[in-house]
Amino acid sequence: MVDYRPFGRTGVRVSSLTLGAMNFGQRGNPDHEDSIQIIHRALDEGINSIDTADVYSDGESEEIVGKALAGGRRDDVFLATKFHGQVGDNPQHRGNSRRWVIRAVENSLRRLRTDWIDLYQAHRPEPDTDFDETLGALTDLVHQGKIRYIGTSTFEPSAIVEGQWIAQRRGRERVVSEQPPYSILARGVEREVLPVAQRYGLAVIPWSPLAGGWLSGRYHAGLEAPISRRAGWLPARFDPALPANAAKLAAVDELAALADEAGLSLIHLAIAFVLEHPAVTSAIIGPRTLAHLESQLGAAKVTLSRDVLDRIDAIVPPGTTLNPADAGYQPPSLADPAYRRRGGSSEQPTGVAP
């Protein structure tokens, strides 16, 4: 069974494991009935928090979650979804603008078969859109009763603080949670994101505690990498020929040996590590099959000793992300050379004053 933790300062309590629904639908498990069985099994085990997004299989994940919660299970679930990424083929169906947020929430409500969303999250920052524009729209949705709380995902520390400032100075509803990438192999958020969340009393619900599958026990040095759809979409994170991924593989072998010595599965070691951080509220697990779910459920019961935690720190030092591609977001100031080269581009970057 799972335990229940305060969701920031909201007064809500959620399970220490959150069921992530990214793998439900065509880009993961296309069998709706199978996915619904996984959701019901998680709920039966005490998980009361589900996280999805409109971009997961172009809305199909939300539809599956909606089916699973129909018939009386909705009221007991803390239901979270996200907006930002492009849904479908229309390039206008994306972003953090008021125009899209208002439309996106109606689409999500319809797919989820619900009258309200407990946590509505900006899936990524959008530097060209004033965050006050986004928070203004989200505040209106809170007042209309369509959403209960506002969250962010993969925001940088400065953007998290800016959101708190905007809420205080401009009378907006406050962001109450952050959903960052966090695992033994991607510890960069320990530097500032997690301390900032603690300072402002935000709930933290990390995604990818298994590092995209690297900590699932399927990756081993000297063996061919397992077949993975994500490897085709995200070669920078999964191509074993890249030095950063070779470093991850070396760390995985050391962590697997440590898990064996501690009498744990690598999966339990990885999830328990994330849950150990005092800033973390609930770790998002994203099973594609019932077997995946069963292998992860027990992690909520595991407590790692000080010695094991110290040895993890020796393998991957605190604050270290072995592969920068695992950070989940690269700001334009790094991704676009025109933002850092005076006169280096014939075109002014969007959002930069001339």
Phi and psi (nearest 5°) for 119?
-135, 115
Amino acid at 252: V
Of 221, 227, 208, 300, whose CA–CA distance to 255 is shortest? 221
CB atoms < 10 A from the CB of 301, how many?
Answer: 12
Name the active-site residue from 56, 120, 182, 219: 56
Structure tokens at 49: 């928090």
Of 187, 256, 260, 179, whose CA–CA distance to 223 is shortest? 256
CA pair distance 307, 311, nearest whole angstrom: 6
CA pair distance 237, 215, nearest whole angstrom: 13
- DSSP code for 58: G
- Whether residue 162 contacts residue 172, with contact meaning beta carbons closer than 8 Å, is answered with no
CA pair distance 179, 207, nearest whole angstrom: 6
Based on the residue annotation, tell me whether 56 is a catalytic residue of this protein: yes
- DSSP code for 293: H
Q: Angle of helix 266-276 relative to helix 306-315, nearest 10 degrees?
A: 100
Spell out the residues 6+ positions from residue 142 whose beta carbon is closer than 8 angstroms to its own.
Answer: 148, 149, 150, 173
Spell out the residues 6+ positions from residue 254 whose beta carbon is closer than 8 angstroms to its own.
Answer: 315
Helix and strand tally (H, E) in the chain? 13, 10
Q: Parallel, antiparallel, or unpaired for β 17-20 and 49-51?
A: parallel
H runs (alpha helix) in 171-241:
193-199, 229-233, 235-238
Which positions are annotated as active-site residues?
56
